[in-house]
Structure 1
Amino acid sequence: MDKYNTGSDTLIFRKPQATDGQPLNALVNRCPPLDTNSTYCNLLQCTHFADTSIAVENADQALVGFISGYIPPTRPDTLFVWQVAVDPGCRGQGLAQRMLKALVERCRTEQSIRYIETTITPGNSASEALFTRVYTELQAPIEKTVLFSRKTHFADQHDDEVLWRGGPLDTRQA
């Protein structure tokens, strides 16, 4: 658990726990256009994937940030970032970048990851900027390919999901 003082507020960065499931559901609902999941799915993210996710709470113990991630079974050196949620009242303060960097550093140490992946819908400028900044800071080359296509996978009901793969990470930075 790490504490960060952000002026008037102290933020606590920690691994998620089962009691974060319902607050995570509420946080994602406050963060359109993020896809909402069931509370049960959020409970699994907070328990089964706690080692590859990060929760951020404020001094009032309210969940204000969350990144869910996992390690794909066929790529044990890769952290796949599923979703990044920041409470609207905490945006514009670099919280998403701090959460992602803290999660990556923890996973580099505990899980020996060398690559970071995510999917981004074209035009999601906030996510594109976040991952570009973090990959650049980590000196991780970026590869982009369409993972799930609008036509093939979504029956024209959802935009393409472009896979952003960054790495390999320099193991000397861990």
Structure 2
Amino acid sequence: MHTARDIVRPVLPVLRKPRAADGAAIWKLVRNCRPLDENSMYCNLIQCDHFADTCVLAEVHGDVVGWVSAYVMPNDPETLFVWQVAVDEQMRGSGLGALMLQSILTRDACEDVRRLQTTITSDNEASWALFRKFGRLQGASLDVQPYYTQALHFQNRHKTENMVTISLAREVADAA
């Protein structure tokens, strides 16, 4: 139940590692966050179960309001690849996305991480805003290159995914 205190003093989300039991709630959140690609519920379950050390869930009053799925690249332990960031409509613009990214980078699993990568389509304004902001917080610019192209990789069924790379500030990487 929300109280008058919540109106005056907003409740901060609780950030935690996901559990397999969170898979369905995450799937529902992502489904409500267009234009994100919807994965299968099973995929979200696997992310929670196998990649919990590099994923984060945000809750307010027990409701899932944010999700980041990420993993350290198998052939490059200095790179954290962010698969998906989903923020509930009521929390957008609050800085939750950047907070979740930062929380992952401080974990032991990201001890060797020196850069963050993700792919973004040209029309995903929310993701561009988040990663530009995160880059500014790191004192870094975004390196952007077409990666999975509409014609070659998606048979013209999906827009080109641009690879975005952010070099992390040394002190942030060392704090992890």
What TM-score, normalized by structure 1, do the two folds share? 0.89
Deviant stretches of 4+, over 4 Å: none
SS of alignment partner, residue 67 of structure 1: strand
Question: Structure 2: where are the runs of 5+ without partners?
Answer: 1-5
**Residue 79 (structure 2) pairs with residue 78 (structure 1):** yes
Note closer, same or farther for the CA distance 1:136–1:10 as it changes in structure 2 (3 Å cut). Answer: closer
What TM-score, normalized by structure 2, do the two folds share? 0.88
- Residue 97 of structure 1 corresponds to 98
Structure 2 residue corresponding to 1:56, chosen from 50, 55, 58: 58
Counterpart contact for 2:121–2:162, Cα < 8 Å? yes
CA distance in 2, matches of 1:121, 1:81: 14
Q: How many positions carry a matched residue from both structures?
A: 167
Note closer, same or farther for the CA distance 1:122–1:17 as it changes in structure 2 (3 Å cut). Answer: same
- Residue 171 of structure 1 corresponds to 170
Q: CA offset at residue 162 of structure 1? A: 0.2
SS of alignment partner, residue 9 of structure 1: coil
CA distance in 2, matches of 1:51, 1:40: 18
- Residue 8 of structure 1 corresponds to 10
**Residue 32 (structure 2) pairs with residue 30 (structure 1):** yes
SS of alignment partner, residue 133 of structure 2: helix
Q: CA offset at residue 110 of structure 1? A: 4.3
Q: CA offset at residue 101 of structure 1? A: 2.0
% identity of equivalent residues: 40
CA distance in 2, matches of 1:8, 1:120: 31
CA distance in 2, matches of 1:51, 1:78: 14
Q: CA offset at residue 85 of structure 1? A: 0.4
- Residue 66 of structure 1 corresponds to 67
SS of alignment partner, residue 10 of structure 1: coil
Counterpart contact for 2:72–2:110, Cα < 8 Å? no
> Counterparts of 1:83-162 in structure 2 under 5 Å?
83-106=84-107, 110-162=110-162
CA distance in 1, matches of 2:122, 2:106: 27
Counterpart contact for 2:104–2:110, Cα < 8 Å? no
Question: Structure 1: where are the runs of 5+ without partners?
Answer: none
SS of alignment partner, residue 35 of structure 1: coil
Q: CA offset at residue 116 of structure 1? A: 0.1
CA distance in 2, matches of 1:161, 1:110: 24
Amino acid at match of 2:97: A
Amino acid at match of 1:32: R
SS of alignment partner, residue 71 of structure 1: strand
- Residue 3 of structure 2 corresponds to none
Amino acid at match of 1:145: Q
Residues 99-142 of structure 1, C-alpha deviations (whole Å, 9 max, x = no match):
122222336x7432001000010122211111111112112343
SS of alignment partner, residue 163 of structure 1: strand
CA distance in 2, matches of 1:83, 1:172: 25
